[in-house]
Structure 1
């Protein structure tokens, strides 16, 4: 079986590297300078334990497919449709992405779709280089058939993922886990806009708490199940603990990295925007997540650097929106 990783950035690059180290046939799909670096120099994987340069085949677009190919989609959600446009629709697709809308989008064209809930703290800010910050495993991955269930392919994928540097589990309710991860990812926009909270009394943490409380109210009213932080802590344990890497400054999460790379787009429509969508469908106001969605998109569009908005400005915008919706 060949794993084709579409979007070989922080998450995709780490998954592809670990599958390659486990002895599997892997092809990395990347673009621009990152693709050129992978093609000429290989993928440099930096972890708290080692730095390795891996000679993994790479391409900058679709290649002739084989019957045993599995597509692992690790792009940002806003790039899902374009990333899959030219791939054969009879291939299985694993959505190794944040958010909960990718699987549904992909199922419109591909008949075999799998969800993957990704806990994998990594960053990609330099062509050809991925830093995976967790120890003793680089990540924990929950895999299940979409919309629910576990089949032979999901079981085989999990077995292959677990051979080197990753912990993987099959779960029949993968979207419940992904909705739980969504609640955590609502903080991405806060981090990208005003920086990472320094502690529980930090004003940024209070904004995150407001966004999550609003989201849980929406999901509860919509009848959408989600995993809890207590479940996640019990499953994760200390298998994916973030550790410092000498010589590597750890920035922020995926949305922070989008602003740092000045990519021009950000995933907020599929994170905070998912809560806004569900709120509108079920008649629940979502002013906190709407402001976070709107401002994250504006910062990406205007190519503003991460953590460039004063916290007081963000809180003021949220309070203003809350007041307007309560009138």
Structure 2
């Protein structure tokens, strides 16, 4: 299976590395110092249980260069949401009649945002539960914990079936098909928007947040607000989801931080608009109070473009 990773940051590089290690034909699209390191030193995953070093990887900044080996069977789309339009528009050279695009982006808007730029190429929704960031060029750091993809089965799409099988052969990477991707996307959106808000606002890891009763209450309130918005938007969530999410957060490594909090610390642009900002906007549109998410949106807004705000 020929797989192109569009966006070789923490998530994209993690998935691509695990798949290449199983023998899949993987190529990465990257840029800047990370690109140069991948070209000269390969790709390294720092992981407490399953570290990995790939001395050689196919990598380029240009999809047209990768297209010399033919179109991709699957594109794993993992750029930050703010880069969606430019990245999707650049994919043309590696797209063929049978190519599928699997988006692992955050939020609930990714499939539509990508589809607008790739013509008739089928875009499949997916979510990934993994903590992985670029620690330094060419090196991805993960504290361990969850490493699960849930993606649209698309009625038994054979390309997706091959992808699920490839993940089943990988180390520290699982993939599960679903026939209800909309609910899956919303479930992750509820959790991610809420934990991104706390870890960014409080500049603290999850262990510390859950270790204090007041900040733990804030975490729960954010989840409850997002669940209420989901119901008003026509995607009702199962009873007990709030408790489930809180339990999952408690089982994460104490050092866990959201990628948005990592971006905030490094002065990078934030996905705030598509997380707490989206909950805030939907709440206003649907008449659902979201005081905690609205505060997160407003308090972090001046940092959303990567600036310090003052």
Length-normalised TM-score, structure 2: 0.84
Deviation for aligned residue 1:163: 1.3
Counterpart Cα distance in 1 of 2:243 and 2:125: 21
Counterpart Cα distance in 2 of 1:274 and 1:162: 34
Q: 1:93 to 1:233 in 2, by over 3 A?
A: farther
Question: Quick check: 1:76 aligned with 2:80?
Answer: yes
Question: Quick check: 1:273 aligned with 2:277?
Answer: yes
Q: 1:25 to 1:275 in 2, by over 3 A?
A: same
Q: Do the aligned residues in 1 keep the contact of 2:205 with 2:256 (CA within 8 Å)?
A: no
Aligned twin of 2:205 = 196
Q: 1:67 to 1:128 in 2, by over 3 A?
A: closer
Aligned twin of 1:143 = 151
Counterpart Cα distance in 1 of 2:135 and 2:279: 29
Deviation for aligned residue 1:177: 1.3
Aligned twin of 1:122 = 132
4+ residue stretches of structure 1 with deviation over 4 A? 229-234, 241-244
Counterpart Cα distance in 2 of 1:16 and 1:184: 24
Q: 1:151 to 1:233 in 2, by over 3 A?
A: farther
* Structure 2 counterpart of 1:178, from 185, 194, 210: 185
> More deviation in 180-189 or 207-216?
207-216
Q: Point out where structure 1 has 5 or more consecutive residues left out of the alignment.
A: 245-249, 306-327
Aligned twin of 2:231 = 220
Q: Do the aligned residues in 2 keep the contact of 1:97 with 1:117 (CA within 8 Å)?
A: yes
Aligned twin of 1:62 = 63
Length-normalised TM-score, structure 1: 0.80
Give CA-to-partner distance per residue, 1:242-273, whole Å, 9 cap, x none.
569xxxxx56221011112222x101111112
Q: Do the aligned residues in 1 keep the contact of 2:73 with 2:159 (CA within 8 Å)?
A: no
Aligned twin of 2:30 = 30
Q: Point out where structure 2 has 5 or more consecutive residues left out of the alignment.
A: none
Aligned twin of 2:264 = 259
**What is the aligned residue count?**
290
